[in-house]
Structure 1
Amino acid sequence: MMNIFTNGTSSNEAYIDNLAKIYGSLFKIHALWNADLLYTYDSKALQHIVLKDQHLWEEPDELLIMNGRTFGVGLLATLGDHHRRQRKVLNPVFSIAHMRDMTPTFYSVVRKLRDSLTKLNETEKEIDLLPWLTRCALEIIGQSGFGYSFDTLEIGAPEHRFGHSMKNWTAAMNNTGLLIGRFLLLPIVHNWGSRRFQRAVVDFLPWKALHEVRDMVDVMHSTSVEIFEKTKQAIKEGGIAATERIGGGKDIMSVLVKANMLASEEDRLPDNELIGQVSTLTFAAMDTTSNALSRILHLLATHQDVQDKLRKEIQEAHFIHGEELDYENLTALPYLDAICRETLRLHAPVPILMRVATQDAILPLANPIKSTDGRDLHEVLVPKGTSILISPHHCNRDPALWGPDATEWKPERWLKPLPESLVEARVPGVYSHLMTFLGGSRSCIGFKFAQLEMKKCQESHQSQAM
């Protein structure tokens, strides 16, 4: 096998696409320090990894530790029963019923974005929309998630420290030294001494990149504590204090804190785990959604016929239901839904995830692969400790499932029955035969939230352009 870090191309995506074309739906990659990784998008293998045998495939220790140290003890930092207990408390706040309650808040935020872009359009020939979409995504999760405003969405408004830290954390962590430290040192040293001792060591080390990340994490934590304490205080005071919060006390954190108070002792989450959800949910909701929205805008700009059809659908809906579509009328627009689904299919915001085998495991395959001696393998033995990369990107684009046009952007495919090959494959995704939001106990808990945000932003943007 070739080495994934010496790909000889300008695009990692093109390199991995080429490997998939040559070797099929499961292959081995030689990585750094002679480590071997498996890479798969085989539908049957994915069923076992994320559903049937998910207890055998956990997230790597270094990722869980890093998430815990960065965001707190939230969904991205927990496993097993601990993770399930958190999801049990969180699930109701991401229900369709609660999405209906939050829709007016979405409208309020998106309206501010629309007003600022309208003003900007009067003076600017070109507008970089991605920063605006990121600001909008942060404000939506701020208001509907925490009853908190991070951004007025006005032209020239100062950037909130929390938003700045969230936006720049991923890039900061891609520093070569920090990457090596994360994978090699963090799993070893994270239990050395007390937290106070570890902090003193971080402060002492003359390492600028590490100090930048430290400062970002400090901002995330202090803001999360502030949001949580304000929520608790408003609920404690009740009455006007609760209803005068942004969103009228229907934000995710308010509902979550109330539900947690009523939960049984064994299900109740400690305060630090509720605090940990603030940065966790913001990180999951901000860049991924804004990137998906920018993808849609780019695709619509290069497919004028699709954009015209979408605008017509939105215009007709406004004529029938008024300018502000409620949750039911917004989610009932078939072409808008098809555009969102197709974009999430072709451009999964998180293209690859890693799991580690917790014990020796047999991984069955829907599509047999060739062994080095030419035999067809219908299953592979994966030794304990092996890392495996699972690919929503390639599963969503697999021609064996989606047909020969799998790599083309065609929203119309969602307006007719999907291929039998796809339906029969039983792809274990939580959403529309897609692996975009994963599946099983670690599926994206906020996928309905993301869908609503994407649709509301598109509905507003397209109606503004009409």
Structure 2
Amino acid sequence: MFILKRVDVAVTALSLVLFFSLYLLKRRSTLRILRGPAASSYLLGLEHDLRVKGLVSILSQWSKDYGTAYRFPGCFGKNFLVISDPRAIHRVLQESDDYPEAADIKRLFEMIFGRGVLWATGEDHKRHRRVLSPAFSINHMRQFLPLFQGHLNHLAEKWNNALQGRSQTINIIPWFHKVTLDIIGESAFNYHFGAIENKPNELTKTLYDLENLGLDQSPGMTLAVALPRYIPDAVATWQAKNFPVYFDRIAKRYLEVSNQKAREVMKEAGLDLSGGGETDEEVPIGTGTERDVLSILVRANRAEDPRKRLSEGEMLAQMSTLIQAGHHTTGYTLSWILYEIAAHPEDQAKVYEEIKHIRETNSGGLTSSDYDSMSHLNLVLKEALRLHPVLPTLEREAMKNDVLLLDFPVVSRNGKTVDAIPVRKGQRIKVDISSYNRLESVWGEDASSWNPKRFETSESEGKTQTQVGMFANILTFSGGPKGCLGWRFAVMEMQAIMTGLLERYEFSIPPDVEIEAGNPGLVVPTVKGKETEGTQLPLKVTPRASA
């Protein structure tokens, strides 16, 4: 009896300790001060709602309701800190060692891209960027303009053959994916994919297989995406190797195919990571004499201290990263830009007049200075990039206790104004790119509307001194040390493609078509009422008489 009483007392005491420990942990949570939407389910939180109801529109509404910093209930009762405040974002993105990708995000990057620049953190990331940087210098990027123009001409030939001088509706997205794949293949690796010629390509198929995984909007998929956050690295690695699920197999296949293509390119070009091959080490890096990005990477890698060079696996990982970033996401971004141009004929007309003016003095290949001089073209590009970030959020994790200061204070749960958010080590943070890009306190009361003129002066690029983005202070290319290394390449490519298309064609939206943002992992154009048919952007294309 005495022993039973002692057991009862011990169980009761342990229960009380556990209860008060959980209670104190909850009270200690630094996010308790913040407002936020309430979860309808402990297991799903509100993550499932974001997947099925439209991530961008929901985040935008929450940003208006709760301000630039708030709590967001995720799966399994885990609270996220969501930020769209420029000062808080600047801290998180600039101090990338203090706020790296969480372990499960790193595993995802490694699974899809290998151990490349997206995967690397800390000193490893600096080593990767140091080798990659010469390939993305502004002088080297300019030499690709004739290549951009040549592939655009090839695309126009295909369209002209199909149009036969008449207006027709064309689904733009597949064509943009083809032309961007051909461009990235030749500029990055001197490799000819032949996508515009419909040459069979397993790489493109594996990319679409990855994208289609995002179309599964079941609660089970929401939980499957969240579960890896709670699985230790060793366990997750063992599971992926020994009992791969469907996603693991698709990701592994993409990495295998992209690595295979990179090896083929290296072999054909005579490039050797060990120091042999045809590349002349006496040629200065980034002089413009190299044929492609890969050649520069190999040369830059050999110029490094042998202890700091990228391994063959790391070099191959850069290839898979470049293919995805320079092909898939760029294709969708171009689609959104052309959608906005089609939706705003007055801006389309202004850009066309700029092109005609440039052509009066230059009938040959346009230069980067020519593109930069077309002010309205560049206003349109910036505004479309602002409104349509293909990657709408970034996820980071705090590596230490910290305090995030806010440019724009928020109202706390008890009604007080808060301009600093305490953050504990391990806190998951969602950087809300889409809401920052449409923040009224930064971009004005018309932040959610189309208005390219907001970029007419540098002062209009955000009503705050805090600079966060790589380009025009927008976050579409991310920011900080882990911001998009190839953003200049992307901007030049967009300038060349949009100029070439608008010079030849007039674009409009068919009267029976309404375009909205789908979210299969990326924010992509879909036709309202036909979401299950996948990404689409049907536009009416009319050849110009003067083309």
* Correspondence list, 1:167-246, <5 A: 167-172=208-213, 175=216, 180-181=223-224, 183-185=226-228, 188=231, 190-191=233-234, 201-202=242-243, 208=246, 210-233=248-271, 236-237=277-278
SS in 1 for 2:308: coil
Q: CA deviation at 1:278?
A: 0.6
Task: Tell me the distance in 1 between the aligned counterparts of 2:463 and 2:239.
Answer: 51
Q: CA deviation at 1:63?
A: 1.2
Paired residue total: 451
What are the superposed Cα offsets for residues 18-55 of structure 1, whole Å, 9 maximum, x if unpaired? Answer: 1111111111011111010111111111121112x332
Task: Tell me the distance in 2 between the aligned counterparts of 1:170 and 1:6.
Answer: 18
Structure 2: gaps (5+ residues):
1-36, 40-45, 506-543
SS in 1 for 2:144: helix
Q: CA deviation at 1:129?
A: 0.9
Correspondence for 1:460:
500
SS in 1 for 2:413: coil
Residue 336 of structure 2 is aligned to residue 298 of structure 1: no
What are the superposed Cα offsets for residues 47-70 of structure 1, whole Å, 9 maximum, x if unpaired? Answer: 21112x332211111111121122
Q: 1:14 aligns with which of 44, 57, 72?
A: 57
What are the superposed Cα offsets for residues 229-248 of structure 1, whole Å, 9 maximum, x if unpaired? Answer: 33444871469xx9xxxx98
In 1, are the aligned partners of 2:103 and 2:233 still within 8 Å (CA)?
Answer: no
Residue 294 of structure 2 is aligned to residue 253 of structure 1: yes
SS in 2 for 1:364: strand
Correspondence for 1:402:
443
Correspondence for 1:448:
488
TM-score, normalised via structure 2 length: 0.77
Task: Tell me the distance in 2 between the aligned counterparts of 1:179 and 1:254.
Answer: 41
Task: Tell me the distance in 1 between the aligned counterparts of 2:58 and 2:502.
Answer: 36
Q: CA deviation at 1:415?
A: 2.1
Change beyond 3 A, Cα 1:318–1:277: same
Change beyond 3 A, Cα 1:6–1:292: closer
SS in 2 for 1:366: strand
Structure 1: gaps (5+ residues):
none
Task: Tell me the distance in 2 between the aligned counterparts of 1:220 and 1:178.
Answer: 26
What percentage of aligned pairs have identical amino acids? 25
Task: Tell me the distance in 2 between the aligned counterparts of 1:163 and 1:449.
Answer: 21
Task: Tell me the distance in 1 between the aligned counterparts of 2:171 and 2:120.
Answer: 37
Task: Tell me the distance in 1 between the aligned counterparts of 2:269 and 2:466.
Answer: 42
Change beyond 3 A, Cα 1:7–1:160: closer
Task: Tell me the distance in 2 between the aligned counterparts of 1:46 and 1:213.
Answer: 30
In 1, are the aligned partners of 2:181 and 2:323 still within 8 Å (CA)?
Answer: yes
Question: Could you tell me which amino acid in structure 1 is paired with residue 264 of structure 2?
Answer: E
Q: 2:476 aligns with which of 413, 436, 440?
A: 436
Report the structure number with the largest CA radius of gyration: 2
Task: Tell me the distance in 2 between the aligned counterparts of 1:138 and 1:160.
Answer: 10
SS in 2 for 1:27: strand
Task: Tell me the distance in 2 between the aligned counterparts of 1:84 and 1:238.
Answer: 25
Greater Cα offset, 308-317 or 292-301: 292-301
Greater Cα offset, 119-128 or 454-463: 119-128
Q: CA deviation at 1:77?
A: 0.8
Greater Cα offset, 259-268 or 382-391: 259-268
In 1, are the aligned partners of 2:386 and 2:474 still within 8 Å (CA)?
Answer: yes
Task: Tell me the distance in 2 between the aligned counterparts of 1:179 and 1:276.
Answer: 28
SS in 2 for 1:126: strand
SS in 1 for 2:170: coil
Correspondence for 2:81:
38
Question: Could you tell me which amino acid in structure 2 is paired with residue 2 of structure 1?
Answer: A
Aligned residues: CA RMSD: 2.7
Task: Tell me the distance in 2 between the aligned counterparts of 1:39 and 1:25.
Answer: 8
SS in 2 for 1:429: coil
Residue 177 of structure 2 is aligned to residue 134 of structure 1: yes
Q: CA deviation at 1:125?
A: 2.9
Task: Tell me the distance in 2 between the aligned counterparts of 1:279 and 1:333.
Answer: 34
SS in 2 for 1:432: coil
